[in-house]
């Protein structure tokens, strides 16, 4: 009985996610879903890359949070379009909430939408929100064994960013060990080391994002 | 309809949690529920304090994980009794799983049970597992604003441990700001700074735990 209800929830979520993905795709907009634990540095990553991405694309950000508008305020400060999505206690963003937000965006004036999910290494990985690209972030402070212990996110990611790489010595984080665990569940996913603090790896990350955006060919574009 | 089902789930969970709490209490055993994000250092805390607690009490550990037995292996190495609870994808420990585990413990030979919940700052906070004491952990690497953004855990905690305090300078974590956010939702909760790496604050944490265990007067004890 409970399982039935849960299945329906997933089915309805996934159907709405497909609608959102279609809306974005038709407008030639690529949707990114950024997932990590609380405090892995999702907002800091966006703060760092948005001004640099701004030269080559037009981006909007949807900030998912249980409470407060702290993150949306931070993103607004770097001059990006941002909407706050409040889950009000919910542990993940749903396709419905993201769909409502995407409807409010002027998609014709955008190339990319970055969705920052609720800080949680577990639940957001189970919910399709209509993204084209899923980015998993894991900070050096969290430990190199986390991809083994929380495999679903890393299995479903299109890119894994290992953040706060400047903490390497302080945290005994072995990137090779982390990568080995990641490759067990997702053999070909790119894995990048990044530190917003030192700037290490940001250029590579930006290149990757730009290439993904440029690879999106809007439906109806003359060739 | 869905809400109804969800309510029943919570109701059944809480009833079973009460049974577990009663079983523990009758045997004079105190149950601790340790909750934090993945990688905040729950296992490291236990590794550090269990050998020292071993002098004054008999403790067992229940290790909640989605996958792997890494943490149980680490705890076994310090000589503590440990059971691995596998949620197999589940984002939190349920009262049912903990209840089954507690039934397998020889409670007459124990003073305390430490349950390490699944690494998740959100969902475990909603589920009573039959603990007497809830400990929230938050690492300096996660950011001092997390108690405002993920309030439920901090609101329901009996103790908040700010871990990895040795990362203070590297992470721009302001403990006073974190404490201010914690006190907004839980005015009187004790807040402790700890670093397993340097040993800072461990003695204070151990004192607190020992006092809580000593304050548990077993039912039926002659006075």
B94-138: per-residue pLDDT in tens?
999 999 999 999 999 999 999 999 999 999 999 999 999 999 999
Output the CA torsion B95→B101→B104→B110 (10° steps): -90
Give the model confidence (pLDDT) of B160-173 as tens digits: 999 999 999 889 89
CB contact under 8 A, B149 and A2: no
Which chain B residue is nearest to residue A2, measuring alpha carbons?
Answer: B5
The A-side interface with B (CB below 8 A) comprises 1-2, 5, 9, 37-40, 65-68, 70-71, 89, 91, 118-123, 139, 141-143, 145-146, 148-152, 164, 166-167, 170-171, 197
Instruction: Please give the mean pLDDT across all residues of chain B.
Output: 92
CA distance A25 to A23: 6
Tell if the pTM clears 0.90, that is, is over it. Answer: no
Calpha distance A76→A81 (Å, rounded): 7
CB contact under 8 A, B141 and A5: no
Our CA angle for B177, A90, B171, nearest 5°, is 30
Contact A37 B89 (CB under 8 A): no
Candidates B105, B110, B135, B108; CA nearest to B53 is B110
Q: What is the pLDDT of residues A52-96, one digit of tens each?
A: 998 889 999 999 999 999 999 999 999 899 999 999 889 999 999
**Terminus-to-terminus CA distance in chain A, angstroms?**
51
**Alpha carbon separation from A181 to A37, A176, A194, B66, B84 (Å, rounded):** 17, 9, 18, 15, 20
Token code pair at residue A156:
């479903």
Angle, helices A2-26/A95-103, rounded to nearest 10 degrees: 30
For residue B210, what is the enclosing H or E element? helix B202-214
Sign of CA dihedral B195, A173, A212, A102: negative
Q: Which residues partner with A31 through β-bridges?
A: A113
């Amino acid at each position: 009985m409970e399982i039935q209800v849960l299945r329906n929830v997933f089915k309805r979520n996934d159907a709405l996610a497909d609608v959102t993905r279609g809306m974005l795709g038709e407008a030639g907009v690529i949707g990114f879903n950024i997932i990590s634990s609380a405090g892995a540095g999702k907002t800091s990553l966006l703060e760092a890359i948005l001004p640099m991405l701004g030269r080559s694309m037009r981006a909007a950000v949807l900030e998912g949070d249980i409470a407060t508008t702290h993150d949306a305020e931070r993103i607004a400060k770097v001059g990006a379009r941002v909407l706050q999505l409040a889950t009000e206690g919910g542990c993940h963003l749903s396709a419905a909430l993201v769909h409502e937000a995407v409807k409010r965006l002027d998609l014709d004036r955008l190339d990319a939408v970055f969705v920052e999910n609720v800080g949680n290494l577990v639940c957001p990985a189970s919910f399709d929100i209509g993204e084209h690209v899923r980015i998993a972030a894991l900070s050096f402070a969290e430990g190199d064994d986390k991809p083994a212990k929380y495999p679903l996110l890393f299995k479903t990611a299109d890119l894994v960013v290992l953040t706060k790489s400047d903490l390497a010595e302080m945290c005994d984080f072995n990137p090779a060990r982390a990568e080995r665990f990641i490759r067990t569940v997702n053999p070909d996913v790119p894995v990048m080391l990044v530190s917003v603090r030192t700037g290490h790896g940001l250029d590579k990350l930006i290149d990757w994002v730009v290439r993904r955006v440029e690879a999106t060919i809007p439906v109806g574009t003359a060739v």
